[in-house]
Chain A
Amino acid sequence: MRNCFLIFACTAGLTAQVKYDAIVQGPRADWLTYAGNYQGWRYSPLTQITAQNARMLTPQWVYHVPDARGLRSSPLVYDGVLYITNTNSIYAVDARTGRQIWQWADPRAKRQGVNRGSAILGNRVYLTTADNYLVALDRRSGGVVFSKKFADEGKGTTSTSAPLIVKDKVIVGSAGGDSGMRGFIAALSAEDGRELWRTYTVPAKGEPGAESWGDLIEWGGGAAWLSGTYDPELNSLFWTTGNPWPDFAGATRKGDNLYTCSLLSLDLDTGKMKWHFQFTPHDTHDWDAQSWPVLLDTEINGRPRKVVLHANRNGFFYALDRVTGEFLRATKLIDNVTWAKGIDDKGRPMEIPGQDPTPEGNWVCPSVKGATNWMGQSYSPLTGLLYVITLEQCGRYNMSSQTPKPMSNFSGGGATEEGGQVIVRALDPKTGKRVWEYPMTGAGRMWTGTVSTAGGVLFTGDDDGHFVALDAKSGKNLWHFNMGELSTASPITYSVDGKQYVAIASATAVFAFGLFEPAEPVTTPAITVVK
């Protein structure tokens, strides 16, 4: 099989461009958006690598990202080129060989920080800088088409998420909620970067919801530091929000602190909030709701529903109706949850008193890292299972009585992460029940996401630097490879020239794997040098 739409021989010319419709269709040979498709599935229909032959996987190439440490970026692939970002920079590499084609960096950015990836549309790739510029580059040359500032880093906002492109809009978010800022989600024009709308995640004084706050509302946080998902039929975006600030000291912000630790449904055209659902009202454990809202049509309690699934840092796994925001169900995501007895039938946690951080420290489960986190989960329509990276970990939560000062790296306290185990869990979306689990060895440090395929394979990283392939049906290990360093990013899969690859960023490099084929000796042609 040759994938004609992928190789240069068929595409060279003006016609090949990333169309919105191709993103809607979801991954095929290419991987066009952070989570693979708009529903947040991280699922690929490619079938060359299967549960039967995964043990034949071998490394195909490694690309060391210049100056990288702790990469968080999930690559995109289009037309044989793989794009990987690092702080204020992006690299285009040949997806078959790992050879760099171009690089772009903005050394004058006023901040450095995590970058989770890029977006692609037409002939442009988009990324944001840590100091809040949206940059559009020509995908072939890396030339700048525009670079436009959308937020002021002087107000505590930085940018870390991969932009999400829907139709003609580039949706960007805001990070920095642990030091005080006001979270927002904004739609910028894919054409020239101008702002089309901006929706704040924390109301201004006097607006509805402001009564759920105290004096520090202007610095309330609710950062939107992970990109979200999109339902083309409803024309709704689904975006999660982070913790209220100061993270660990709740006394200055009595109330629910809307709309922090929530899932928001926004109208794509206007940014208007259609509904919100708050997982953790008045959070004091830094349990941002950042984890992918996965969109799925399934049966809940025997009734067909358009649902949004959300595995939350607070220890519970939720199903909501994504049309209305109605709470449908919550089950325990991890075993060790000490702060709440469960979730009541309105969707509110039944809190156990005395679980807030204290000056001496209070032992609470889950830990500050949460029962899961932003690492990409995967839904496989083949198995009907949702694969979530979970963390069984507790920690000591401390509170500081210092007067909170925004943008001074003060979060009202702090927390420890002690021991703990990462476990991949396959969940049944219909019931929330566990179908299988794959416990890992390690120190609870990984942030690796997942990708699943129509070949029946689930790829993820172990908690100790191994990249692994599991049988998506049973959770049985099929193959592993030691990358030599912990991974904090999510894998993808793509195909070029009829060959399927699986790629993942380790801390410093991108690794690509494919099925073993005997090497072809290369005869270098005659090279003439002319003056």
Chain B
Amino acid sequence: MAALAVVLPLAAQHGRYLNESRNPAIGKPEAIAAGAKLFSGSCGGCHGPDGGGGARGPNLVQRALWHPLADEAIFQAIRKGIPGTDMPPTALEDEQTWNLVAFIHNLTGPASEQKVPGDAAAGKQVYASAGCGGCHAIRGEGGRLAPDLSNIGGSRPLASIRESILEPSKDLFYLGNEGVSVTLKDGRKLEGVAKNRSNYSLQLIDRKGDLHLLRMNDVKEMTVRANSMMPGDYGKRLTKEQLRDLLAYLAGQTIR
């Protein structure tokens, strides 16, 4: 099941935040803009124009999820390349290199730290009318079935939030989001998300948000969904503006 491919190494990101670079380029709009320009010229050929992946280089947003790098390490990767791969060294000035780092930092960093277009207040309305709160919670309000979104802006790059909404079944970052339904030997039926499961036990959260800690010996039949429980048609249901505003609202969800 491809659905369980990538587990986000949350803890691995400690390095990133604890070693926050003090280079003035980081977070500076002019530096990010200069970096973006450089990127489309020198890097986009391989990594795609927006870093979203291309013929000869990986998607940098996704890569940062499993290989988060401190700013200094991004600097070194650009300067020295990655020996043995297609990623070439560069001969750019320090300042230009830092501009590129600023661009990548922004691209791969939490959405809450990015400049995100759109109207967050309108996005909150979209969130409500699209029924997101039926499954997700923000600061204690909403469902418990699906991942908590209280810190979604503070923990995910914008591009990855967008992808989660538009293509929910494409890439499930967490083990623990499979939709399951079970019939128990005593006849009860339960449906929800398997927070975890093995051949021996199942930890299920139901649509009401209650936990059921089950032994597989008590389970008669189980059905597992191969794709996400999250509706897959938001790309069609939401207008461009609605999606933009929704993203602005979600980008602002941070606990810090």
Q: Residues of A at under 8 Å CB distance from B?
A: 8, 12-13, 66-67, 79-81, 89, 94, 96-97, 99-103, 105-110, 112, 133, 135, 138, 140-147, 520, 522-531
Q: How far is the CB of A2 from chain B (nearest CB, A)?
A: 14
> Which residue of chain B has the shortest Cβ distance to A89 in the bound complex?
B11
26 A/B residue pairs, CB under 8 Å, sorted by A: A8-B214, A67-B11, A80-B211, A97-B201, A100-B196, A102-B195, A106-B256, A107-B16, A107-B17, A108-B110, A110-B18, A138-B137, A140-B144, A140-B205, A141-B144, A141-B205, A143-B137, A144-B140, A144-B151, A145-B140, A146-B140, A147-B255, A525-B216, A525-B219, A526-B221, A531-B227
- Secondary structure of the B side of the interface? mixed
Q: In the complex the two chains form, is A8's CB within 8 Å of B226's CB?
A: no
Is residue B67 within 8 Å, beta carbon to beta carbon, of the partner chain? no
Q: Residue of A at shortest CB range from B146?
A: A141
Tell which of B13, B14, B144, B182 touches A143, judged by Cβ atoms closer than 8 Å: B144
8 A Cβ contacts from B117-133 to A: none
B195-A101 in contact (CB<8A): yes
Query: B140 and A138: CB pair below 8 A?
Result: yes
Contacts of B63 in A (CB 8 A): none
**Total contacting residues, chain B, CB less than 8 A:** 48
Say yes or no: A99-B198 contact (C-beta < 8 A), given A524-B216, A530-B226. Answer: yes
Chain A residues in 8 Å Cβ range of B201: 94, 96-97, 99
Partner of B11, one of A105, A526, A530: A105
Query: B144 touching A13 by the CB < 8 A rule?
Result: no
Q: What B residues does A144 contact at CB under 8 A? A: 139-140, 148, 150-151, 255
Over the window 180-192 of chain B, the binary record of Cβ atoms lying under 8 Å from chain A Cβ atoms (1 yes, 0 no) is: 0010000000000
The interface residues of chain B lying within 8 Å CB-to-CB of A103 are: 10
Smallest beta-carbon distance B106→chain A, Å = 16
Residues on B with beta carbons closer than 8 Å to the beta carbon of A109: 17
Inside 8 A of B150's CB, which chain A residues have their CB? 143-144, 147
Q: Is B209 an interface residue, CB under 8 A from the partner? A: yes
Contacts A107-B11, A140-B144, A529-B1; A96 near B210 (Cβ below 8 A): no
> 5 smallest A-B Cβ distances: which pairs?
A143-B148, A145-B140, A144-B150, A141-B144, A147-B255
Closest to B201 in A: A97
User: Are B176 and A102 within 8 A (Cβ)?
Assistant: yes
Q: B216 to nearest A CB, angstroms?
A: 6
- Is B203 interfacial (CB 8 A cutoff)? yes
Residues of B within 8 A of A524 (CB): 199, 216
Report A530 CB to chain B, min CB distance, Å. 6
Q: Is the CB of B213 within 8 A of A8?
A: yes
A8–B13 contact, CB under 8 A? no
Interface residues in B207-254 (C-beta closer than 8 Å to A): 209-217, 219-227
Which residue, of A66, A99, A112, A525, has the highest number of chain B Cβ atoms within 10 A? A525
Main secondary structure of the interface of A (DSSP, over half): loop
Q: Tell me if A141 and B148 are in contact (CB < 8 A).
A: yes
Which residues of chain A have C-beta atoms less than 8 A from B196's C-beta?
Answer: 94, 99-101
The residues of B that contact A135 with a CB separation of less than 8 Å are 255
Contact A94 B14, CB 8 Å, known A101-B211, A528-B221: no
Tell me the bound Cα distance from A526 to B221 in angstroms.
6
Kindly name the residue among A100, A108, A133, A524 whose own CB sees the greatest number of chain B CB atoms within 10 A. Answer: A108
Residues in chain B near residue A520, CB distance under 8 A: 217
User: Chain B residues near A94 (CB, 8 Å)?
Assistant: 196, 201, 203, 213
Nearest Cβ on chain B to A91's Cβ, whole angstroms: 11
Closest to A146 in B: B139
A79, A80, A142, A530: which has the most chain B beta carbons within 10 Å? A530
* A4–B16 alpha-carbon span in the complex (Å): 46
Chain A nearest CB, measured from B127 CB (Å): 15
CA A523 – CA B218 in complex, angstroms? 9
Contact A81 to B11, CB < 8 A, known contacts A522-B199, A527-B222: no
Residues of B within 8 A of A106 (CB): 151, 255-256
A93 CA / B227 CA spacing, docked (Å): 25
In chain A, what residue has the closest Cβ to B113? A108
| Apart from the given pairs A141-B148, A144-B150, A528-B221, 16 other A-B contacts in the complex at a CB distance below 8 Å | A81-B211, A96-B201, A100-B203, A101-B195, A105-B10, A108-B154, A138-B148, A144-B139, A144-B255, A145-B139, A522-B199, A522-B215, A525-B219, A529-B224, A529-B226, A530-B223
| B 4-32 contacts with A by CB, 8 A | 10-11, 13-14, 16-18
What distance in Å separates the Cβ of B69 from its nearest Cβ neighbour in chain A? 14
CB-contacts of B130-183 with A (<8 A): 137, 139-140, 144, 148, 150-151, 154-155, 176, 182
Contact: A66 with B11, CB < 8 Å? yes
> CA–CA, A133 to B211, complex, Å?
27
In the assembled complex, the Cα of A523 lies from the Cα of B215 at a distance in Å of 10
User: A340 → chain B, closest Cβ, in Å?
Assistant: 43
Q: Which residues of B contact A528 (CB under 8 A)?
A: 221-224
Partner of A12 from the list B140, B148, B210 (CB cut-off 8 Å) is B210
Q: Is B203's CB under 8 angstroms from A141's CB? A: no
Give chain B interface residues in 52-97, CB to chain A under 8 Å: none
Question: Which of chain B's residues have a CB closer than 8 A to the CB of A525?
Answer: 182, 216, 219-222
Can you name the residue of chain A whose Cβ is closest to the Cβ of B178? Answer: A529
Q: How far is the CA of A96 from the CA of B18 in the complex (A)?
A: 36
A227 to B11, CA, bound (A): 27
B225 touches A530 (CB 8 A): yes
CA A39 – CA B242 in complex, angstroms?
55
> How far does the Cβ of B157 sit from chain A's closest Cβ, in whole Å?
14
Q: How far is the CA of A140 from the CA of B148 in the complex (A)?
A: 11
In the bound complex, what is the Cα–Cα distance between A403 and B219 (angstroms)? 68
Contacts A138-B144, A144-B255 given; indicate if A8 touches B211 (C-beta within 8 A): yes
